[in-house]
């Protein structure tokens, strides 16, 4: 198991978040992680510390979920506040050098932070299963629905039409989809626990009740027209069977000066859990090699 510090609290807009530094004595450049969700705790990213034993790995729970404070104020669940939250954490850490790794929804936060600049700038920006355009995301999800078995597709489309996400048909169909496109191996406890502990208030306000249709305040989000402004070395990682498909990651990369891409064979939306050795190899080949 990776060495870790005891958790610490950091004041951010709207409350306090809890963060930890895993592998604190490692000699490499620290990797600051931004988990997905919205509202899903960071726990499923903790295995990154074992994949990157030469690097300190910073993990934190965004406000409203996990071990961080959970204020009952829906006005806090806005992307701008989460970007400010990351900035406050980086100011608290005051790292002379660091890499920034976002996953899924966390790539919105990481990309926005890097685009806006500031005193703490990452050397590498790593975007794993990036969602940088909600419209593109929904188009890709519709394409996947067409390729599912008819009964599974029907269970999902019926729920989208009626707004009923508690039917046995939807639950069964969502499980089939998750086993194909979320995590194709046995789900570890870290992923199960994080999924079960998702803060519904945050998720529903920002995203909505289902992966397949965005109804929250992120529904019109895109940063694709600004990706040319990214100055950090950028790596985009997707799983071969990801519901953020490799072609989407490659399209984002083409808009970013000098960006690199990697597709993790056999994996889906959790490539660091499904194919950890290959994921670590692709990541370390960049961040341990210095600038491109």
The tens digit of pLDDT for each residue in 93-119 reads 999 999 999 999 999 999 999 999 878
**Contact between 181 and 242 (Cβ < 8 Å):** yes
Span of 9-13, 141-145, 199-203, 221-225 with lowest mean pLDDT: 141-145
Residues whose CB falls within 8 Å of the CB of residue 91, separated by 6 or more in sequence, listed in order: 119, 120
Q: Of residues 42, 43, 103, 104, which has the active-site annotation? A: 104
pTM for the model: 0.95
User: How far is the C-alpha of 280 from the C-alpha of 175, rounded, in Å?
Assistant: 27
pLDDT tier at 291, thresholds 50, 70, 90: very low
Task: Give the chain's mean pLDDT.
Answer: 95
**Contact between 97 and 106 (Cβ < 8 Å):** no
User: For tokens 């930890």, what's the residue?
Assistant: 20
Q: Of residues 42, 103, 269, 272, which has the active-site annotation? A: 269
User: For tokens 């599974």, what's the residue?
Assistant: 152
pLDDT tier at 290, thresholds 50, 70, 90: low
Enumerate the H helices of 68-188 as residue ranges: 79-93, 105-116, 134-147, 150-162, 168-181
- Per-residue pLDDT at 23 exceeds 60: yes
**Contact between 120 and 90 (Cβ < 8 Å):** yes
Q: Of residues 242, 268, 272, 275, which has the active-site annotation? A: 242
Whole-number Cα distances in Å, 32 to 67, 91, 110, 142, 208: 17, 12, 10, 32, 27
In the chain the first and final C-alpha atoms are separated, in Å, by 32
275 noted as active-site residue:
no
2 noted as active-site residue:
no
Residues whose CB falls within 8 Å of the CB of residue 20, separated by 6 or more in sequence, listed in order: 4, 5, 6, 7, 8, 58, 59, 60
61 noted as active-site residue:
no
- Per-residue pLDDT at 1 exceeds 80: no
């Amino acid at each position: 198991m990776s060495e870790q510090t005891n958790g610490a609290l950091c004041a951010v807009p709207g409350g306090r978040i809890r963060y930890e530094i895993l592998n604190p004595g490692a000699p490499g450049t620290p990797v600051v992680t931004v988990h997905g969700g919205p509202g899903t705790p960071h726990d499923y990213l903790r295995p990154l510390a074992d994949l990157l034993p030469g690097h300190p790995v910073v993990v934190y729970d965004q406000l409203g979920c996990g071990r961080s404070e959970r204020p009952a104020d829906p006005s806090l669940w806005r992307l701008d506040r989460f970007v400010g939250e990351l900035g406050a954490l980086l100011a608290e850490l005051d790292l002379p050098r660091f890499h920034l790794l976002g996953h899924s929804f966390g790539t919105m936060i990481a990309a926005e932070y890097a685009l806006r600049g500031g005193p703490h700038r990452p050397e590498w920006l790593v975007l794993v299963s990036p969602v940088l355009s909600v419209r593109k995301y929904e188009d890709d999800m519709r394409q996947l629905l067409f390729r599912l078995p008819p009964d599974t597709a029907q269970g999902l489309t019926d729920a989208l039409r009626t707004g009923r996400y508690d039917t046995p048909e939807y639950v069964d169909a969502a499980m089939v989809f998750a086993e194909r496109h979320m995590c194709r191996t046995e789900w570890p406890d870290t992923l199960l626990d994080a999924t079960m502990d998702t803060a519904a208030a945050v998720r529903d306000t920002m995203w909505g009740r289902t992966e397949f249709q965005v109804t929250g305040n992120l529904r019109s989000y895109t940063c694709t027209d600004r990706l040319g402004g990214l100055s950090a070395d950028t790596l985009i990682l997707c799983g071969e069977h990801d519901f953020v498909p490799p072609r989407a990651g490659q399209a984002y990369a083409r808009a970013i000066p000098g960006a690199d891409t990697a597709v993790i064979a056999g994996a889906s939306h959790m490539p660091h859990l499904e194919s950890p050795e290959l994921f670590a190899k692709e990541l370390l080949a960049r961040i341990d090699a210095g600038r491109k």
